[in-house]
Amino acid sequence: MSAAQQSTAIIHGNTARVLSPAEPSSAQPSKRRTPLALVTSTPRRRRAPFVVFCFLALVGALVTVLVLNISVSSGQYELVQLHAAQAELLKSNQELTQQVQNKEAPQNLVNEASELGMVTSTSVGQINLKNMSVAGTPKPAPAGDKTKSLIAAPSLPNDKPSTGADAAAVPGGPAKAGAPTAAGSADLHGGTIPAPEQKNG
Amino acid sequence: MSSNSSKRSSKRPVKDALVTRRRLRLGLGFTMALLLVIAGKLFLVQGLDFGGLAEAATQQLSRTEVLPATRGQILDANGTVMATTVLKYDITAAPNNFNEPGDKFERIDANGEKQTFTREQAVKELADALGLKPEDLAKPLEGTGTYSMIAKDVSPVVEQKVMDLRLPGIYNVPKSQREYPLGSVAGNVIGFLGQDGDALGGVEQTLDSKLRGTNGERTYQMGRNGIVIPNAPSSITPAKNGESVKLTINKDIQYYAQQTAEQQKKQYGADWVSVDVIQIKTGKIIALADSSSVDPNNPGASKAEDLGARSVTAAIEPGSTEKTVTAAAAIQEGKVTPETHVLVPPTYTVDGQNFQDAFPHGTEQRTFAGIIGDSLNTGTVMVGERLTKQQRYDYLRKFGIGEKSGVPLPGDSPGILAKPEQWDVRQQYTVLFGQGVAQTPLQTAMIYQAIGNNGVRLQPQLVESYIDPDGTEHKVSPGASTEVVSPQTAQQVRDMLESVTTAADATNVKVPGYRVGGKTGTAQSPGDGGFVGYTSSFVGMAPMDDPQYVVAVTVQHPKSNIYGVNQGPAFNDVMGQVLRTYNVAPSTTPSVKLPQYYN
C-alpha cells in the first residue's frame, strides 16, 4: 500500500472531492512538516500571557479579598455603632412611652383637664336625627365647678426613687421633665422620630 | 603522593557515603522517635485527656448566662398598657475607686481631649445628672469601701447622663422593673409583684404562668482576658417571652367607677364601696371598681385588706336586691305574675316568725310588682313561701350563688349558701329577701345580667384575649351559659324592675334618654356580736328596651342614717357614662309603669 492510497482512504462521505493520487505525492512530506513547526511556535507565544493572566488573577483575588475584608471589618464597626444607637433609641423610646402612658392615666387626665378649666357636664340631651327632636334639657355646665380626682396619681418609681443618702431627693424628676426635651430638641431638630445618623454624629 | 591520593580518593567516597548514610539513618531514627514521643503525648493530651485537664479548662472557660424572659404586659380592652416591664438602673459606687484620683480627676471628653477636674466638680456633676444635691452624695461617696448605693431605679436617660460623665468607681446595674402606668386605676384587678418579682396579687398572680415566660440560656467560652473565644463551642437557648393579657376592663369606665366609689365612700363614711359594670350580652366585666384600690407601683402604702378586689372576695348579705331572684323563681314556677293581687298586712307572721318592712304601713292592696317596687319583705315572704325550700335553693344556685364566679382573681369567693335542709326556721324565709345568704357584689351583678340577657346567665369574663410575644391574639372563648328562667319570665321581671324606677321606690334613678330598671337593697350586716351596720346597694340595667349593661353599686357600712343613704345618683352617673361611652342608642319605646296597687 502506498502513502497515496492511504491518504485517499481517509476520505469518507459522498461529498468528498476525489483527489488524484499521483499528483501531490512529492509535496506531501513538506506539507506535513510545516504544521509541526507551527505547532511548536504557538505555545511559546501563548505561555507568556498565561503567566501574566495567572499573576493578574492572583493579584486581583488578593485585592478582592483585601477589599472584602476591609469592608466586612468596617461593617462590623458600623454594626457595633448602630447597635449602640439602637440601644440608645430603645431607651429613649421607653422613656417617652412611659411619659405618654403616665399622662394617659385617667386620674392625671382629669387633673390636667380641670387645671385647664374644664368642668364635667351636669346634664345631657340627645338629638334624634330622624325627627329632628331634642330629648332632655341640656344646660351648659357651670364654670368653676372643679372636678377633682379622688384617685391618687400613679406613684411611679420615677417620681420618687429612694437614694442611698436621702430618700426625699428626686433623681427621676429631671429625667422626666428635662432629659427627653434636651435629648429631643437638641438631637431631633424638633422631630419626633430620631434618625440614627443624627444620634451617631 | 599522587598515586596515594588517587588511591585514597577512590576509597573515601565509599566510606563517606556509608558514614553519611548511617548518620542520616541515625538522625532520621532519632527524629522519628522524638516525633513518636510527641505524637504519643499529643494523643495522650488530646485524645485521652488524663487528669481531666481539657475538661477542667473547658469548665473554667465556659460561662452560662441566663437570658431573662420579658414578662408579658397587661392591657385594657382598648389596648392601653396597664402593666409593663421596663429597663431601669441602679447607680452604685465603689468609693475606694472614686476617691483614688484624689483631687485630680481625668477623663477624655467627647472631642478626644484630656480634661482634668477636681473631686468637688466630679461630685457636683454626678449630683446634677441624678437631680440630687452634692451634699446628698457626700456620705455614699466617702471612705474606702467597695460598694455603696447612689440612686435606685433611675431611668435609662439618667443612667446615660451619669455614665457619660466617665467618673471612676461609678457603676450602673441594669434591672427590669414592673410598672403600672395607671396607678391605682384597676390596681385591685391587675395586682402587683413583690420585691423579688413574685406575683402577689390580682391577675399578675393568677395568670403568672402565662405572663412569666421561660428564661433562656447562653453558654459560651471566655478567655482569661474576658474576650469571648470566637470559634469555641457555644449554644443559645433563646428566652421565651411571656404572653400579654388583654382584659375586658375599660380603663376610662374603671376610673369613673372608682372615682364614684371613692366619692360614695367619702360621702357616707362607708367601710368600702364597690362599683361593677357588666356587659349583659357577653358577660364581660367592663369595670370592677373598689374604693381605696391599691396602687400596684407601691402596694406597701395600702392596707392589707385593700390589696384584693372586694367585688369578688367579699361575701356579704345582699338584702333586697335578692328579691329579683325570688320574683323570677315565683314567676317561672307559675306561682305569681306581676299583676297578682296580694293583701299585705303591716307585719306578717309565718311559722312563728314575724316579718316587717323598712317603713311602717297599714294593710295594703299591692300587686306583686308593687311588693317588689317598694321592697316589702312581708309581701315577698308571702309570695316566696309558695315555692318549696328546694326551689328557693335551686334558683339561687342557678343564678350563680354558692359557686365561684370563675374570674381569675385571687380569693374568688363562692359566697355562703347553706343547703335547704340546714336552713333554720327563719332562714328559709329570709333567703327570699337576701338575708341569711352571702354573696359577692359580682355575683349580685350577674343575677341582673341573667335577667337582662333573657334569662341566660353567662360566666363573668375578665380576660379578653392572650397575646403571644409575636402579636398573635388568642381570643378567650366565653364560658358555659346557663338558662335560668325563660325569656318571658325575664321580660316580666325586667318590667317590674323598670317600674321600681318609674312608679315606686327609686324614682331618683334616671339616665336621661334611656329606660332604666333596677332594685335597691338595704341589708343588715351581721358580724362579730350581731348587727354591725348596713349594706346599701343599687343594681340596675339599661336600656330596658334591649338591656346592654348592668351597673351594681354596693356601699358597705355607711355611717350616716341609713334612710338617707341612696345609691341612685351614683348609679345614674356610672350608667350614663357607660351608655355614652359605648354609644348605646337612646330608648325609643315608651317606658313601662306597672300598677303598684289594686282597687
Among A135, A151, A163, beta carbon nearest to B259: A151
Asked if A175 and B154 come within 8 Å (Cβ–Cβ), the reply is yes
What cell was used for B6? Answer: 588517587
The nearest CA of chain B is from the CA of A151 a distance in Å of 7
Among B84, B86, B295, beta carbon nearest to A155: B295
Q: Contacts of residue B86 in chain A, CB cutoff 8 Å?
A: 94, 98
Between CA B429 and CA B323 the distance in angstroms is 11
Between CA B324 and CA B331 the distance in angstroms is 11
pLDDT exceeds cutoff 70 at B307: yes
Residue B591 among the catalytic residues = no
Query: What is the percentage of chain B residues whose pLDDT exceeds 90?
Result: 45
- For residue A123, tell me if it sits in a domain: yes
B451-495 confidence digits (pLDDT tens): 999 999 999 999 999 999 999 999 998 888 999 999 999 999 999
- Orientation of helix A28-104 relative to helix A179-188, angle to 10°: 140
Rounded average pLDDT over B335-349 = 91
Q: Among residues B474, B243, B158, which one has the least CA distance to residue A176?
A: B158
Among A18-22, A65-69, A153-157, B2-6, the minimum mean pLDDT is found in B2-6
- For residue A90, tell me if it sits in a domain: no
Among A22-36, B75-89, B128-142, B222-236, the minimum mean pLDDT is found in A22-36
Which residue range(s) make up the domain with A130? 117-151
Question: Model confidence at A190, in pLDDT bands (50, 70, 90)?
Answer: very low
- For residue A68, tell me if it sits in a domain: no
Structural domain total, chain A: 1
What cell was used for B40? Answer: 504519643
Question: Model confidence at A45, in pLDDT bands (50, 70, 90)?
Answer: low
pLDDT at A193: 47
pLDDT at A166: 34
DSSP per position, B27-38: HHHHHHHHHHHH
Question: Which single residue is written with the C-alpha cell 473631686?
Answer: B119
pLDDT exceeds cutoff 80 at B54: no
Counted across chains A and B, CB pairs separated by less than 8 A come out at: 163
Q: Contacts of residue A105 in chain B, CB cutoff 8 Å?
A: 181-183, 185
The per-residue pLDDT of chain B, averaged, comes to 88
pLDDT exceeds cutoff 80 at B43: yes
What cell was used for A131? Answer: 325627627
pLDDT exceeds cutoff 80 at B391: yes
- For residue A131, tell me if it sits in a domain: yes
Q: Among residues B320, B499, B525, B591, which one is catalytic?
A: B320
Q: Contacts of residue B576 in chain A, CB cutoff 8 Å?
A: 124
Q: Which CATH superfamily is domain B66-245 in?
A: Penicillin-binding protein 2a (Domain 2) (3.90.1310.10)
pLDDT at B16: 84
- For residue A194, tell me if it sits in a domain: no
Question: Model confidence at B82, in pLDDT bands (50, 70, 90)?
Answer: very high
Between CA B323 and CA A49 the distance in angstroms is 109
Asked if A124 and B513 come within 8 Å (Cβ–Cβ), the reply is yes
Among B130, B157, B262, beta carbon nearest to A92: B157
B333, with CB counted inside 10 A (0-12, 13-18, 19+), is middle
pLDDT exceeds cutoff 80 at A23: no
pLDDT at A169: 32
pLDDT at A11: 52
pLDDT exceeds cutoff 70 at B217: yes
Between CA B169 and CA B99 the distance in angstroms is 8
Asked if B157 and A179 come within 8 Å (Cβ–Cβ), the reply is yes
Judge whether B81 and A100 are in contact, CB under 8 Å. no
Query: What is the percentage of chain B residues whose pLDDT exceeds 70?
Result: 97
A57-103 confidence digits (pLDDT tens): 999 999 999 999 888 888 888 888 898 899 888 888 888 888 888 88
**Phi, psi of B232, rounded to the nearest 5 degrees:** -75, 155
Buried b / exposed e along A59-95 (16+ C-beta atoms within 10 A):
eeeeeeeeeeeeeeeeeeeeeeeeeebeebeebbebb
The nearest CA of chain A is from the CA of B87 a distance in Å of 8
B225, with CB counted inside 10 A (0-12, 13-18, 19+), is exposed
CB atoms within 10 A of CB B403: 13
pLDDT at B361: 87
pLDDT at B9: 53
Query: What is the percentage of chain A residues whose pLDDT exceeds 90?
Result: 9
Domain boundaries, chain B: 2-48, 66-245, 251-291+308-581
- For residue A187, tell me if it sits in a domain: no
Q: For A149, which residue in chain B has the nearest alpha carbon?
A: B259
Q: Which CATH superfamily is domain B251-291+308-581 in?
A: DD-peptidase/beta-lactamase superfamily (3.40.710.10)
B545-563 confidence digits (pLDDT tens): 999 999 999 999 988 766 6
pLDDT at B540: 94
pLDDT at A21: 59
Q: Contacts of residue A153 in chain B, CB cutoff 8 Å?
A: 183
Q: Which of residues A80 and B53 earns the better pLDDT score?
A: A80
